[in-house]
Amino acid sequence: MSVRETARRQYTRLADTAAQQVSGLSVPKEGWIATIRKALGMSGAQLGRRAGVTKAAIYQAERNEPEGAITLKQMEKMAQALGCRFVYAIVPDERIADIVRRQAHKKVEALVQRASAHMALEKQSLSSDQTRADIERQTNELVRSMPPDFWETR
C-alpha cells in the first residue's frame, strides 16, 4: 500500500468518525450563542462584558449566527466568553467510501452510456445484465485507481 493510500485511509477514518460523533446534532433554531447564553441564565450585557463587546454586539451576533453571517473568529470569541469551546467541522452525510463509490459509479455510467450508444449503432450492444456487470467491474476499478480527474464533472 502506498503512502498516499495510507494517508487517504487515515483521512477517511477521521471524517467517518467525526460524522458518527455528531450524528443527530443540529443547530438550535436560535443558534448556539443564544441557546447557551440562555441555558446559563446569562444576560446579553453580561456576555458582552465577558467578551469585551457591547450588548448590542452580542444581540447582533445572535441575529447573525442563524443566518450564517457570523465569522468563525466571532464564534470562537463567544464560545470562550460563555465558558465553552467552539467546534467547527465539515462532516459527511454518509460514509466516505459511499461518496467515492457513488462518484465512480456516476462516471462509469456516463462512459458506458456513450459507448453503448456507439455500439448500438453498430449493432454490437451488450445485454442489460452484461452492461450492469461491466458497470460494476469498472466502478470497482475506478474506486481502486482514483485517477486525477476522478472528481471532475464532464
15-25 per-position pLDDT tens digit: 999 999 999 99
User: For residue 53, how many C-alpha atoms fall within 13 Å in the half-sphere facing its CB?
Assistant: 14
pLDDT at 121 over 60: no
For residue 65, count CB atoms less than 10 angstroms from its CB and return exposed for 0-12, middle for 13-18, buried for 19 or more.
buried
Handedness of CA 80, 81, 87, 88 (dihedral sign): negative
12-65 per-position pLDDT tens digit: 999 999 999 999 999 999 999 999 999 999 999 999 999 999 999 999 999 999
Architecture of domain 23-81: Orthogonal Bundle (1.10)
The mean per-residue pLDDT over the stretch 111-132 comes to 75
* Intervals of CATH 1.10.260 along the chain: 23-81
